[in-house]
Amino acid sequence: MRGLNKVTLIGNLGNDPEFQKLEGNTSVAKFSLATTESYKDKYGQTHTTTDWHTVVLWRSLADLAYKYLQKGSLVYAEGRLKTRSYDDKEGSKRYVTEVVADQIIMLDKKAVDNE
């Protein structure tokens, strides 16, 4: 009860969610989310940066995402940052940081009407 680890994102999906059923019938979904921000440099010129995030969803949230979200959907996602390690094919350790979401708000008219 002493730590806080929270991520909040609003952005568009870069791909359709990948969906999987794990052992024990647990659902997982994963997608890329692009967050785009504009800022003005000191010459008054507008620049745009895009950051890409890997969002992972479990259980009923994964089912919802698979059913209603698609490439291009606009969503609010809230969750926590989690860095996993794995061994690549050369046998060296690699790290990947993901956002494990526990809340999703669909911001597209389309998506919401379906709900």
* Binding partner of 13, given its own copies, DNA, none, CB within 5-8 angstroms per partner class: DNA
Q: b/e map of 103-112 (b: 16 or more CB within 10 Å)?
A: ebebebeebe
> Rounded to the nearest whole angstrom, what is the least distance from the CB of residue 70 to DNA in the complex?
9
Q: Give me the least distance between CB of 103 and DNA, in Å please.
A: 17
Structure tokens at 71: 């490439």
Given the complex with DNA, which of 13 and 61 has the nearer CB atom?
13
Structure-token match 């698979």, residue found: 66
Q: How far does CA 92 lie from the centroid of its chain?
A: 26
Residues that bind its own copies (CB under 8 A): 1-11, 34-38, 50-53, 74, 76, 80-83, 90, 92, 94-97, 99, 104-107, 109, 112, 115
